[in-house]
Amino acid sequence: MKFLYFFLVLFASTSLFCQPYAGKSNLSSPPAKAAGCSPPTTTTYMELNNVRTMIHTAGNLWQVPNQNFSQYEVPKNSGVMALFTAALWLGGTDFNDQLKLAALRYRNGQDYWTGPLSNTFAETSYENCELYDKHFVTTQDLVREFSAWFDAGQADLSNGTNTQATLFPNYEVPDIIKTWPAHGDVSLGQDYYLAPFYDNNEDGHYNWEDGDFPFFDISKNHT
């Protein structure tokens, strides 16, 4: 009798607390997300030290989209792929302690969109997602060269010398320094400060012509 009683309690408990199977039809119409943005599509190769690897703005890494091939080559030009696939997993709790998680597995589903959100309602738009569907790639070497070029020009202005043209013949400021996404569009509610930068003239605004550059602590004494 005790066994029967236990069974009935167990059955009642499972009936009360288990979520009924809702069928697959609900899975085909997930709640709308990301303001109608198209999934990010940009792919970029990163080449650092002796590694060449493929990254995607959609959040998955290494794997060639829709193929069972990877691009995480070590050493470069060897044809040896050290890793097959990976993806960004970011989680945290919101104001109500509800867990939020963005996680991809083999690019199943779509958890990541590109671009900043508005500060008040965390909104975005199709146009904003498209605008930021890219990787902003820079290197410390690139920034060091730009900083040295700029400082040479400033020294020339003070001293009446011509060292910039002598030391940096044919130098052109890289587009990534000119177009660094330091600031959001405040008219859309975005934060004014996005990607970190070194503010050479300390006016609070990113302008490469003032010697500002994507942030690297190249002199090891910037804050």
If we measure between CA atoms, which residue out of 53, 45, 36 comes closest to residue 125? 36
Is 203 a residue that touches Ca ion (CB under 5 A)? yes
- Please give the full DSSP string across 152-173, using - where no structure is assigned: HHHHHHHHT--HHHHHSTT---
The correct pick among 183, 210, 215, 218 for binding Ca ion (CB under 5 A) is 210
Beta carbon of residue 212, minimum distance to Ca ion (angstroms, whole number): 4
Is 212 a residue that touches Ca ion (CB under 5 A)? yes
* Amino acid code (one letter) for 103: A
Is 185 a residue that touches Ca ion (CB under 5 A)? no
Is 154 a residue that touches Ca ion (CB under 5 A)? no
Window contacting Ca ion (CB under 5 A); options: 73-81, 88-96, 135-143, 204-212: 204-212
Is 199 a residue that touches Ca ion (CB under 5 A)? yes
Residue 183 or residue 205: which is nearer to Ca ion going by CB? Answer: 205
- Cβ burial of 208 (10 Å; 0-12, 13-18, 19+) is buried
Return d(Cα 197, Cα 199) in angstroms, integer. 6
Window contacting Ca ion (CB under 5 A); options: 57-65, 103-111, 135-143, 209-217: 209-217
Window contacting Ca ion (CB under 5 A); options: 31-39, 84-92, 139-147, 211-219: 211-219
Residue 44 or residue 154: which is nearer to Ca ion going by CB? Answer: 154
Beta carbon of residue 129, minimum distance to Ca ion (angstroms, whole number): 28
If we measure between CA atoms, which residue out of 153, 215, 151 comes closest to residue 182? 215
Residue 19 or residue 223: which is nearer to Ca ion going by CB? Answer: 223
Cβ atoms of 102 and 59 within 8 Å: the answer is: yes
Q: Which residues of 158-189 are buried (b: 16+ CB within 10 A; e: fewer)?
A: eeeeeebeeebeeeeebebbeebbbbbeeeeb
* Helical ranges in the chain per DSSP H: 2-17, 126-131, 140-159, 163-167, 175-178
The correct pick among 50, 178, 201, 217 for binding Ca ion (CB under 5 A) is 201
Beta carbon of residue 81, minimum distance to Ca ion (angstroms, whole number): 42
Which positions touch Ca ion (CB under 5 A)? 199, 201, 203, 205, 210, 212
